Amino acid sequence: MLDYKYSIEAKNVNKIFFKKSSSVNALSNFNIRIKRGSIHGLLGPNGAGKSTFINILGSLVKKNSGEIKICGLNIDTHSKSSKFKIGIVPQELNIDPFFSPNELLELQAGLYGITKKNRKTEQILDNVGLLDQKNAYARTLSGGMRRRLLVAKALVHSPEMLILDEPTAGVDVDLRKSLWKYIQKINAEGTTICLTTHYIEEAEELCDNITIINKGKVIKDDTKQNMLEIISNKTVSFSLTKHNTIPKSLEIYKPVLKENKLTLSYDKNNISIKKIIDILNLNKIEFSEINTYESDLEDVFIKLVNEK
């Protein structure tokens, strides 16, 4: 097996689309490295270039310039062998409605040249929860089942890396969480995962590393934890049982008092909550409950995109 550190390594990738007399830079000197064995999130607003990059990886779109390696193989010099390294789950539910899940996976395995004895059709269908529907027409499956069938198709050749383009778009909360568990399961078994998503909660739950892109350019690439450290604002609320007027010493924390609930904002990197509690005690402001709120990835995402 080829030894490599990054499942995806892209350097200075450019893609220009021409529309009549104008041109659009879908990717502009795009650079990304996805660590082997990680779950990597690719975030960005609509039109940021996420799907363009995935389509280049899947050989559906040709880049204008730059270098891309998949699992250590250059996609230009090792076009065929690099395709065997990845499985791609597209956004679109592009499934032939007159085939059953079993037939679709067998057909996909045949396209990859996998011999009958080496196929894992039933095992894969069982893993994605479709074994009971293996002989049903795809057109009779629900939207969530079709989404899982796409994941199953992408896994027939046991790829070292799985790319998921909006994997839980349009599915209900319960199914989304079951797909999350399955993604984490196959990652734990050694498969590198790259996913694009509009659900910030999804990236926060699953990803080790995150790349935020906008207008074809990388605006931030870091670990999830470092991303969350970008915004250090924290909010704390106190349910008051006894208080006088709000002291001036709390004014720097932008106090809001409503129905005996005092809300304060502070920078967790510079101020400890103990200091705030000491001020309350000093001013004889009594409280029965404390609740704190951290910034999340959505705050980071909005901040970075707006800045750029």
Chain segment 13-67, per-residue pLDDT in tens: 999 998 888 898 999 999 999 999 999 999 988 888 999 999 999 999 999 999 9
Q: Helices 173-188 and 143-154, interaxial angle, to 10°?
A: 10
The reply to whether 305 falls in a domain is no
What pLDDT is recorded for position 294?
74
Do both 242 and 212 map to the same domain? no
Chain segment 170-195, per-residue pLDDT in tens: 777 787 888 888 899 999 999 999 99
DSSP strands (E only) in 2-62: 6-19, 22-35, 39-43
pTM of the shown model = 0.78
The reply to whether 303 falls in a domain is no
Range of the domain at 243: 232-295
Chain segment 94-138, per-residue pLDDT in tens: 888 899 999 999 999 999 999 999 999 999 999 888 999 999 999
- Residue among 296, 253, 257 nearest 277 (CA): 253
Domain stop point among 211, 228, 245: 228
What pLDDT is recorded for position 266?
87
Q: Is-contact 234 250, C-beta < 8 A?
A: no
Which region among 87-91, 145-149, 274-278, 300-304 has the lowest average model confidence (pLDDT)? Answer: 300-304
pLDDT band at 1 (very low <50, low <70, confident <90, very high): low
Do both 144 and 261 map to the same domain? no
Total count of domains within the chain: 2
d(CA 274, CA 251): 16
What pLDDT is recorded for position 300?
78
Domain stop point among 228, 260, 278: 228
Do both 50 and 166 map to the same domain? yes
